[in-house]
Amino acid sequence: MNNFFFKIGELFSTPGYINSLLHGFLLTIQIAYFAILIGILLGTIIALVDTARPSKWLVIPKFICRIYTTVIRGTPMALQLFIMFFVIFAIKGFPSIITAILAFGLNSAAYTAEIIRGGILSVDKGQTEAGLALGLSRKTIFMKIVAPQAIKNIIPALGNEIVTVIKETAIVSMVGMYDLNMAAKDIGSGQNMASYIVPMFVAALFYLGIIYVITFIVKRIEKSLRKSDLRAEK
Amino acid sequence: MNSDTDLKIKNLRKSFGSNKVLNGIDFELKEGERVVVLGPSGSGKSTFLRCINWIEEPTSGEIVLDGVRITEKNVRKMRRSIGMVFQHFNLINNLTVMDNLTLAPVKLKLMKRDVAKKRAEKLLKHIGLLDKANAFPASLSGGQKQRVAIIRAMMLSPEVLLFDEPTSALDPESIGDVLSLIRELASRGMTFIIVTHEMGFAKEIATRIVFIDKGKIIEEGAPEEFFNHPKTPRVKEFLKKVL
C-alpha cells in the first residue's frame, strides 16, 4: 500500500509522466468536445427532419435519416472507428484527430437525434393544437411552445450521451492515438513505471473528474429549466 | 358578403385512414346562435369541431366563414376569428398565464404588447385570477386553467367560439365556475358551438341542439323541442339513457 502512494507521488513528480498524462487528457477532451458539437448539430438536423410533418420534399431526407440512425446504432463504435481510419480516411498524413472527431461525431449524432426526437415527440399534442387554434405559425409554435418543453426532456438524456462519448473516446488507443487511456498504459509499461495500477488509477480519476463536472453542470441546467413545473410564486 | 350568416359548412367529411368519422355534415350557424352538439361518444362530435378550424384538416367538403372559404392558404388568418377551448385546457406549459394570453395577439401583430397586457389584466381581473398573472399553468387548478383558456380564446375577439367538452376533465366544483363563465359569454351575445355532456346546461344555454351519430347530423332543433319531443328513435333512446 505504501508502495502505491509512493508510486502516485512519483507519477505526479516526474514531469515526463505527468505531462504525458495531461497530453493524453487534452486529446481526449478535444476529441470528445468536437465530436459532441458535431453530434448535437447533426443530431438536431436529423431529429428535425425526422419529426417534421410528412411532405413530398422530405420523403427522401426522412428515409436517409432513418437508415443513418439504424446503421450507426446497429454497429459497434469500434468498427466504425476502424472503418473511418482504415477505409474512408486511409490517407497518408491525414490528421488522425480529425478522423477520430468525425468518427465519434457521426456516431453521437445518431444517438443525439434519437434523444432530441424523443424529446420533441414527448411534448403533448394539445400544446401544438392550442398554438394552431390561436392562428400561430408552425415556426412560432415550434420555437415558443414545443422546443422549450422538449429541451426539458432532452437535457438529462443529452447529459448522459455527453458522458458516454467522453468515455467511449478511450477506444482511440486501439488505432494508436495517444489519449488519456493510452497515456496511462504507456506510463505503466515496463520501460517506464513498470506499474499499470498507478497510472490507470490516476487516469480513472481524470475521467471521473471531468464527468463529475459535466454531470454537475447538466443538473444545474435541468434545475433552471424546471422553473415552470414548480408552484410559481410571482 | 352575407352578414347574417357566420358559418356555413357543406358536406364535411373526415376520414382517418379507412375510418370514416364524419360522413357529410351540413351545418349553418348564424350570429348570436349558441349550438350545443350532443351525441354518443365516438360519434364524431369533437372531430366535427376540430375540422371547423382545421385543427383536423377535412377530407372533403367546405367551411365558409363570413363568405370566405377556409383553405390551406388562409387557414391561419381564419383561425383568429374562431376561438377554441379544449377539454384538457391546453394552456402552454412553459409560459405564464399572462404570456399564454398575450402570445398570440402580440405574435400575430394584432396588438402592441402593453395593449395586450392591459386587456389580459382586465380579463383576468374579471374572472378573479389577476393574482395568477405570473403563475405557470402547473400551479393552477383545472377550473382556473379552463377559465384562463376561455379568456385566452377571447383575447382575439373571435366571431365564433368552439368549446370541445370544456368541463369533462373537471371536478364538480370547478364545473360550476366554468359553466357560469360560458353562461356570461352567452348573455353577452357570443356565438358559439359547444360539445358537452352537461344536459341541464345544454338545455339552459342552447338556442339550438344538434345531434350527431355515426358522423352525421341526425336531428336538430330548439332545446324544448329536442328534449321534449324528439323525432328520431336514436335520439329518443339517447335521451332515455342520459336524462
**CB-CB under 8 Å, B80 with A135:** yes
**CB-CB under 8 Å, A144 with B103:** yes
Interface test with chain A among B55, B93, B140, B148, by most A beta carbons within 10 Å: B93
- pLDDT of A229 higher than 80: no
Tell how strand B68-69 and strand B19-30 pair up: unpaired
Q: Is A116 contained in some domain?
A: yes
**Torsion angles phi and psi, residue B211, rounded to 5:** -110, 125
End-to-end CA distance of chain B: 41
- pLDDT of A234 higher than 60: no
For A130, the closest chain B residue by CA position comes to B90
- Nearest by CB: B104 against A134, A149, A228: A134
**CB-CB under 8 Å, B152 with A134:** yes
Query: Measuring CA to CA, how many Å separate A159 from each of A100, A114, A212, A227, B50?
Result: 21, 14, 11, 19, 39
Cell of B15: 376520414
Give kind and range of the element (H or E) at residue A147.
helix A147-168
Domain count, chain A: 1
**CB-CB under 8 Å, A230 with B136:** yes
- pLDDT of A48 higher than 70: yes
Give the closest residue to A168 by CA, choosing from A233, A105, A230, A87: A105
Residues of B in contact with A133 (CB under 8 A): 53, 55, 79, 82-84, 86, 153
For B163, the closest chain A residue by CA position comes to A133
Give residue ranges of A with CB < 8 Å to any B CB: 124, 126-127, 129-137, 140, 144-145, 148-149, 227-234
3-state secondary structure of A14: coil
Please report where in the chains the cell 513528480 appears, as a residue.
Answer: A13
- pLDDT of A2 higher than 80: no
Residues of A in contact with B134 (CB under 8 A): 232, 234
Residues of B in contact with A233 (CB under 8 A): 135
Give the closest residue to B79 by CA, choosing from B71, B87, B88: B71
Cell of A157: 438524456
Q: Is A230 contained in some domain?
A: no
Cell of A47: 431529429
Please report where in the chains the cell 448535437 appears, as a residue.
Answer: A40
Report DSSP letters for A212-232, one per residue.
Answer: HHHHHHHHHHHHHHGGGGS--
Q: Is A231 contained in some domain?
A: no
Give residue B57's pLDDT.
93
Give the whole-number percent of chain A exceeding pLDDT 70.
97
Q: Is A71 contained in some domain?
A: yes
Q: In angstroms, rounded to a whole number, what is the distance separating the alpha carbons of residues A117 and A44?
A: 8
- pLDDT of A46 higher than 90: yes
Q: In angstroms, rounded to a whole number, what is the distance separating the alpha carbons of residues B63 and B14?
A: 13
* Sign of the CA dihedral with B136 first, then B107, B169, and B142 last: positive
Residues of B in contact with A130 (CB under 8 A): 86, 90-92
**CB-CB under 8 Å, B88 with A126:** yes
Structural domain span for residue A128: 2-224
Output the domain CATH number for residue A37: 1.10.3720.10
Return the number of other C-beta atoms located less than 10 Å from residue A193's C-beta: 18
Q: Is A69 contained in some domain?
A: yes
For B93, the closest chain A residue by CA position comes to A228
Q: In angstroms, rounded to a whole number, what is the distance separating the alpha carbons of residues B53 and B56?
A: 8
Domains identified in chain B and CATH numbers: 5-91+140-242 (3.40.50.300)
- Distance of residue B176 Cα from the nearest chain A Cα, in angstroms: 23
Residues in CB range of A81: below 8 A, 6 or more apart: A100, A103, A104, A171, A172, A174, A175
Query: Measuring CA to CA, how many Å separate A24 from each of A33, A176, B240?
Result: 14, 12, 80
Cell of A93: 498524413
Q: Print pLDDT tens along chain B (243 aa).
A: 445 558 999 999 999 999 999 999 999 999 999 999 999 988 999 999 999 999 999 999 999 999 999 999 999 999 999 999 999 999 999 999 999 999 999 999 999 999 999 999 999 999 999 999 999 999 999 999 999 999 999 999 999 999 999 999 999 889 999 999 999 999 999 999 999 999 999 999 999 999 999 999 999 999 999 999 999 999 999 999 887
Q: Is A229 contained in some domain?
A: no
Which residues 45-104 of chain B have a CB within 8 Å of chain A? 53-55, 76-77, 79-80, 82-84, 86, 88-96, 103-104
Residues of B in contact with A131 (CB under 8 A): 92
Chain A contact for B158 (CB, 8 A cutoff):
no
- Nearest by CB: B139 against A124, A135, A232: A232
Q: Is A207 contained in some domain?
A: yes
Task: Quick: pLDDT tens for A210-220.
Answer: 999 999 999 99
Q: In angstroms, rounded to a whole number, what is the distance separating the alpha carbons of residues A81 and B228?
A: 78
Give residue B4's pLDDT.
57
ipTM of the complex in this document: 0.93
Q: In angstroms, rounded to a whole number, what is the distance separating the alpha carbons of residues B86 and B166?
A: 6
- Nearest by CB: B134 against A124, A229, A234: A234
Q: Specify whether the CB–CB gap between A73 and A114 falls below 8 A.
A: yes
Q: Specify whether the CB–CB gap between A184 and A199 falls below 8 A.
A: yes
Q: Is A11 contained in some domain?
A: yes
Return the number of other C-beta atoms located less than 10 Å from residue A173's C-beta: 19
Task: Quick: pLDDT tens for A181-226.
Answer: 999 999 998 888 888 999 999 999 999 999 999 999 999 999 988 8
Task: Quick: pLDDT tens for A107-144.
Answer: 999 999 999 999 999 999 999 999 999 999 999 999 99
- Distance of residue B166 Cα from the nearest chain A Cα, in angstroms: 14
Give residue B5's pLDDT.
59
Residues of A in contact with B94 (CB under 8 A): 145, 148-149, 228
Mean pLDDT score, A31-39: 98
Q: Specify whether the CB–CB gap between A129 and B86 falls below 8 A.
A: yes
